[in-house]
Amino acid sequence: MQAAAPRRGLGVGLGTLLLAALLLAAVVLGTGLGSVTIPPGEVLGALWRGATRQALEGNDVIVWQIRLPRVVMGALVGASLSVCGGAFQGVFRNPLADPYLLGVASGSALGATVAIVAGWPRALIPVSALLTALVAVACTLSLAREGRRFPPTRLILAGVVVGSVLSAATTALILRGEDRARQVLAYTLGDLGFSGWRDVLTVLPYAALGCGALLLLARALDTLQLGELTARSLGVPVERLRLIAVLAASLATAGAVAYVGVIGFVGLIVPHMIRLAFGPGHRTLLPLSALLGGALLVGADLLARTTPLSQVGIVTTLLGGPFFLWLLRKERHD
């Protein structure tokens, strides 16, 4: 047992380095590939020149002004959704929980659509998304609650119902806002194509605050996995922990969804992959999910814009649907 801890720490350290390298590779490839191919060495040179405030010329302009904002937004959104998915699964002790299945993403999408159709300033889109996300998660939890418990089946069914109702409301708004219909329709399918540096800087505080709070709760989430009674006996305020975690996850989800739309299943797939490789501890699960989630979404967006799939939300749904069915089958056998 004494030798196992250092070996596990070494494994987590190596895993962190590998996932960080994977994220860097995804960023370089995502920035270099497109209608004009820019070799990796040239991409790294452009990143260095921009970071050190040297003059930009040639492909440097393509890197910094067109592709890098989209790639950075993808990494930011993927990291946020993955951390939120891992936190939701820990809070509800339910492996099927994620922002998409709990209706939080659909709630955020409705708020963002209201802001887009009404022509509100872009800075208000995340605020509108956050308010409707909180309403959505409150409705889901209210429908799913059974005493102090949130049974997995009731939670997923409630999330699907709430998400379906909110999606219908979003569709109705799209049909009313004919002049903005194409923009909103692309948004609801999940699209990083409209991302600019201003959007990245607006989303960043939501991701930092939400994910930062969840990382601080990681130790308490580990204790909660021992059972509510045990957690309470060890001094964990369970109800307060759930409230803070849901608020923090809703904040990060609203920021992630606000400008790029509903991108499903990232928050479901990534935490499970990390859990299988490195174990269930949230102090490892959440930060490594951020690295893998960022790399996964940048890669999915690269696949979307270099193939006929065209929308990143379509790619993640094609990946996540079979994964969800596999997970349901696995849970039934377990």
Q: What is the DSSP string of 113-172?
A: HHHHHHT--GGGHHHHHHHHHHHHHHHHHHHH-BTTB--HHHHHHHHHHHHHHHHHHHHH
Q: How many CB atoms lie within 10 A of CB 48?
A: 10
Core vs surface per residue 131-159: b (16+ CB within 10 A) or e: bbbbbbbebbbeebeeeeebebeebbebb
Distance CA 136, CA 159 (A): 9
* pLDDT at res. 178: 63
Give residue-wise pLDDT tens across range 194-210. Answer: 778 888 998 899 999 99
Q: Are 126 and 202 in contact (CB under 8 A)?
A: yes
Stated pTM of the model: 0.85
pLDDT exceeds cutoff 80 at 25: yes
Distance CA 32, CA 71 (A): 10
* pLDDT at res. 286: 93
Residue with tokens 């903005």: 180
Of residues 214 and 187, more confidence is placed in 214
Give residue-wise pLDDT tens across range 273-307. Answer: 898 888 888 999 999 999 999 999 999 999 888 88
